[in-house]
């Protein structure tokens, strides 16, 4: 019995340290997402009338704040293992371009939204940072959660729907409809 008490007392500081590190990671992730949101809103305000500048700003933010390699690999799913090195390289480039194009279009409708970080929680090695995007006088706020790993975003979850999981499902469907060929996905992304 006294050995169990001794073991518990030895482990207690380690547990406290792990808890403190988790709390520190969460606070750092919240600060990162708050800064990212402020930077994105500022970029959108600066580039209202210039789609090309807006696309360049979004690409810069994406490349510095998102782990696009991890996101691209996850989105390809089980087919990553069957792709050749050349296919992987071309796919990652096309994936990055697709994300910039899609989100530049989505953010072109931006009009004076407010971005607020509302909290966070640990999720394995990641931190999920919660936020709300509100529009002045335009309905309910939109809940957006950000999965952060090692100081980079690896997923965006809008109203409970993971963008990475959605993309993975779409990509798997394209590959499956074309006999399991990764080249079909690459050709789809080229369009």
> Token pair for residue 114?
């407010």
Per-residue pLDDT at 47: 82
Per-residue pLDDT at 38: 87
Span 35-49, mean pLDDT?
84
Per-residue pLDDT at 162: 92
* Domains assigned to the chain: 2-190 (3.10.450.710)
Span 106-121, mean pLDDT?
80
Per-residue pLDDT at 92: 95
pTM higher than the cut 0.85: no
Per-residue pLDDT at 72: 95
Query: Starting from the edge strand earliest in sequence, which strands make up the sheet with 114-123, in order?
Result: 114-123, 126-134, 142-149, 152-158, 161-162
Among the listed residues 156, 187, 177, 178, the one whose alpha carbon sits nearest the alpha carbon of residue 75: 156
């Amino acid at each position: 019995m006294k050995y169990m008490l001794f073991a518990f007392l030895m482990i207690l500081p380690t547990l406290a340290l792990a808890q403190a590190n988790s709390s520190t990671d969460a606070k750092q992730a919240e600060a990162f997402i708050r800064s990212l949101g402020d930077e994105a809103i500022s970029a959108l305000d600066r580039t209202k009338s210039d789609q090309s500048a807006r696309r360049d700003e979004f690409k810069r933010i994406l490349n510095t704040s998102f782990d696009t390699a991890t996101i691209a690999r996850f989105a390809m799913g089980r087919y990553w293992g069957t792709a050749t090195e050349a296919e992987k390289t071309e796919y990652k480039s096309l994936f990055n371009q697709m994300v910039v194009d899609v989100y530049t279009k989505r953010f072109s409708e931006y009009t004076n939204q407010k971005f607020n970080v509302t909290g966070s929680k640990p999720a394995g090695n990641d931190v999920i940072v919660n936020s709300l995007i509100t529009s002045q006088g335009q309905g309910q706020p939109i809940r957006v959660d950000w999965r952060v790993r090692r100081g980079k975003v690896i997923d965006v979850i809008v109203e409970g729907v993971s963008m990475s999981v959605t993309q993975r499902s779409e990509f798997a469907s394209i590959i499956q409809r074309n006999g399991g060929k990764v080249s079909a996905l690459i050709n789809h992304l080229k369009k």
